[in-house]
Structure formats: structure tokens, C-alpha cells
């Protein structure tokens, strides 16, 4: 085979494989990330449930859950504002999409503040990672790890959202990228809807 | 957008119901079952409408759903040992 023959394309690469599941690769990657995160949260929830069930004198320290109710309202509303941002981005309304993403980020920011306030309240009651005033030492570790993991996702997600919004406005990202972030935001919002009944509502003081 | 707002309102109502039930007199496993049922309904709504899984290819929907069911099933692996600890708890170690 001559050199010319090679360069003319006789030795071509095999055709690209079809996209798996017929969705864009970036979107598939985000779904796979979410599914791996589901496993991590599932492990946290399973560990918490194990301890909660196996400990007869598990503490019920939550007298009021107004703070948690407000946090839940903020999280659900931010899910909706994220969807509005996505719709605006798909309609090529750049200013609108940016504005709604900033509303969503504000929701994430206030959620983080209220979460820290919730933690401060628990710390003031003497709840640490390995001790608390009520007995079972595992309570603090279980509480802080499961809520902390959620807080980590939401606070880091808020920063990432601001970065995505700025890059979108600057023209580096498009509506598809907003959709990817929207998937992540809906997921962390959903996780919070599992944490509220499991950690707070099942442990209300009687 | 109207559909999303409707789903958002349903999610708010379900969450409010969870808070009402939480303050009620139901205890133990009955409470857990009710909360889990509500959480599963919320998951279906969020995944189908907010994450738009319903509009993806059927094969991908199956992939995600089977994976979720597998994770849910394996989460229940803990219960036997958890109840063993609860029932056969060692209260005193060493010779009496």
C-alpha cells in the first residue's frame, strides 16, 4: 500500500459507536454520577437506619422543626426556579436564565445558612460527633454525617451553579449545560426530601 | 411550565402532610412506612417531571429504574442484623 493511498483515507478509523441509550454523552455522564451518588446516600441512609433501629433509647431532640420546614420550602422552590432557568435557556432568553439561576443560587445560599444555624443549635445542646447529653454516642455521628453530606452537596452545588451561570452568560456554556446542572440540583433537592422525615420528623420530641 | 408548577404544588402538599403526620401520634414502623410511601411518591414525581426521565428513551428509563430498585433492595440488607442487635443486646460483659 503506497503512502499516498494511506493518506487518502483507505486506512480510516472504524465508525464511531452509536451513543449509548441515545442520549448525549455529557448527559449520560451526569446520570451515571447521580446514580453513583444515589449509592453513597443509600449507604448513609442504611447506616443511619441500622443505628436508629438497633438503639432502643435513640434520642428525640427536635422540639420544633420550623427551621427544617423553611429549609424544605426553600429547597423545593429552588427546584422550580432551576426549571424556569432551564426553560428560559432553551428559549434563548439569556438574561432570564441567568436571573433564575441566581434566584436558585440564592435559595441554595439561604438553605446553607439555615442548615448551619440548625447545626449550631445542636452543638449548643452539646451534640458532638461522639457524645451527646442523651446517651447513645452514635447519634451525633449519624446526624452530622447524613445531614453534613447533604449540606456539602448543596453548598458546593451553589458555588458550581454560580460558576455555570457566569459561564453561560459569557457564552461558554449553553442550554445543554444548564440542563445537566438542573439534573444535579433536582437530585440534591430530592435527597433532602428523604432526609427530613428520616432524621427530623421521626425524631420529634414527644 | 404549568405542569412543573402543578408538580411543585403537589410536592409541597405531600411534604406538608409529612410534617402533619410527624406531629401526630403514630409511632415506629407505621410512621416509617408512611414516610417512605410519601418519599417514594415524591421521588417518582421529581424524577419523571423535574428530571424529565419520562421523556428519555425507554431503554434508558429501564436502566435507571432497575438500578434504583437494586439499590433499594440492597439497602434492606441491614435489617436482620439491626433487629438482632435490638433483641439480643449485650447489656453486661464479663462474669457475673
Best B8, B20, B51 member to test A by mutation, with max A CBs in 10 Å, is B51
Average pLDDT, chain A: 86
Closest residue in A to B66 (Cα–Cα): A35
With a cut of 60, say whether residue A2 has pLDDT above it: no
Choice between A60 and B17, residue whose per-residue pLDDT is larger: B17
Q: Per-residue pLDDT averaged across A51-58, rounded?
A: 81
pTM of the shown model? 0.86
Best A25, A53, A97, A205 member to test B by mutation, with max B CBs in 10 Å, is A53
The pLDDT assigned to A135 comes to: 76
**Contact criterion met (CB below 8 Å) for A205 and A60:** yes
Question: Cα separation of A86 and A77, whole Å?
Answer: 14
Choice between A21 and B68, residue whose per-residue pLDDT is larger: B68
Q: What percent of chain A has pLDDT over 70?
A: 90
The pLDDT assigned to B13 comes to: 95
With a cut of 70, say whether residue A11 has pLDDT above it: no
Q: What is each CA distance from A80 to A76, B4, B51, in whole angstroms?
A: 7, 7, 11
Tens digits of residue pLDDT in A150-173: 999 999 999 999 999 999 999 899
Q: Is B88 on the interface with A (CB under 8 A)?
A: no
Question: Cα separation of B41 and A69, whole Å?
Answer: 19
Nearest to A69 among B1, B11, B19 (CB): B19
Q: Is A76 on the interface with B (CB under 8 A)?
A: yes
Could you say which residues from 7 to 26 on chain B have a Cβ atom under 8 Å away from some Cβ of chain A?
8, 11-12, 15, 18-19, 21-23
Contacts of residue B32 in chain A, CB cutoff 8 Å? 202
Contacts of residue B71 in chain A, CB cutoff 8 Å? 38-39, 42
Q: What percent of chain A has pLDDT over 90?
A: 50
Question: Cα separation of B64 and B53, whole Å?
Answer: 9
The pLDDT assigned to A54 comes to: 79
Tens digits of residue pLDDT in A71-113: 999 999 999 999 999 999 999 999 999 999 999 999 999 999 9
Choice between A6 and A66, residue whose per-residue pLDDT is larger: A66
Tens digits of residue pLDDT in B68-81: 888 888 887 777 77
Mind listing the domains of chain A with CATH numbers?
A: 34-203 (1.20.120.80)
What cell was used for A124? 449548643
Burial (CB < 10 A; 0-12, 13-18, 19+), residue B53, is: middle
Contacts of residue B64 in chain A, CB cutoff 8 Å? 31, 35
With a cut of 60, say whether residue A9 has pLDDT above it: no
Question: Cα separation of A83 and A97, whole Å?
Answer: 10
In this prediction, does ipTM exceed 0.85?
Answer: no
With a cut of 80, say whether residue B94 has pLDDT above it: no
- Per-domain residue ranges of chain B: 2-78
Neighbours of B17 (CB within 10 A): 12
Cross-chain Cβ contact A83/B50 below 8 Å: yes
Q: pLDDT-derived band of residue B96, with 50, 70 and 90 as boundaries?
A: low
The pLDDT assigned to A80 comes to: 95
Amino acid at each position: 500500500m503506497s503512502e499516498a493511498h494511506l493518506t487518502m483515507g483507505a486506512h480510516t478509523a472504524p465508525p464511531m459507536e452509536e451513543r449509548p441509550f441515545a442520549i448525549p454523552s455529557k448527559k449520560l455522564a451526569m446520570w451515571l454520577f447521580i446514580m453513583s451518588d444515589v449509592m453513597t446516600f443509600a449507604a448513609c441512609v442504611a447506616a443511619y437506619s441500622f443505628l436508629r433501629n438497633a438503639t432502643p433509647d435513640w434520642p428525640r431532640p427536635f422540639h420544633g422543626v420550623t427551621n427544617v420546614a423553611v429549609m424544605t420550602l426553600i429547597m423545593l422552590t429552588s427546584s422550580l426556579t432551576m426549571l424556569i432557568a432551564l426553560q428560559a435557556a432553551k428559549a434563548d432568553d439569556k438574561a432570564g436564565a441567568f436571573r433564575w439561576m441566581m434566584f436558585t443560587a440564592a435559595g441554595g445560599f439561604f438553605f446553607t445558612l439555615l442548615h448551619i444555624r440548625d447545626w449550631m443549635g445542636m452543638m449548643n445542646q452539646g451534640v458532638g460527633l461522639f457524645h451527646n447529653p442523651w446517651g447513645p454516642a452514635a447519634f451525633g455521628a449519624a446526624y452530622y454525617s447524613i445531614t453534613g453530606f447533604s449540606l456539602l452537596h448543596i453548598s458546593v452545588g451553589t458555588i458550581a451553579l454560580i460558576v455555570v451561570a457566569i459561564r453561560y452568560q459569557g457564552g461558554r456554556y449553553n442550554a445543554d449545560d444548564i440542563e445537566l446542572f438542573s439534573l444535579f440540583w433536582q437530585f440534591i433537592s430530592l435527597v433532602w426530601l428523604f432526609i427530613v422525615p428520616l432524621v427530623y420528623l421521626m425524631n420529634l420530641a414527644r | 411550565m404549568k405542569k412543573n408548577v402543578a408538580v411543585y404544588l403537589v410536592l409541597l402538599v405531600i411534604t406538608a402532610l409529612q410534617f402533619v403526620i410527624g406531629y401526630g401520634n403514630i409511632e415506629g414502623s407505621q410512621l416509617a412506612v408512611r414516610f417512605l410511601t410519601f418519599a417514594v411518591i415524591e421521588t417518582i414525581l421529581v424524577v419523571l417531571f423535574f428530571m424529565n426521565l419520562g421523556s428519555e428513551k425507554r431503554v434508558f428509563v429501564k436502566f435507571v429504574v432497575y438500578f434504583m430498585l437494586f439499590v433499594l433492595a440492597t439497602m434492606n440488607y441491614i435489617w436482620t442484623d439491626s433487629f438482632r442487635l435490638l433483641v439480643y443486646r449485650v447489656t453486661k460483659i464479663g462474669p457475673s
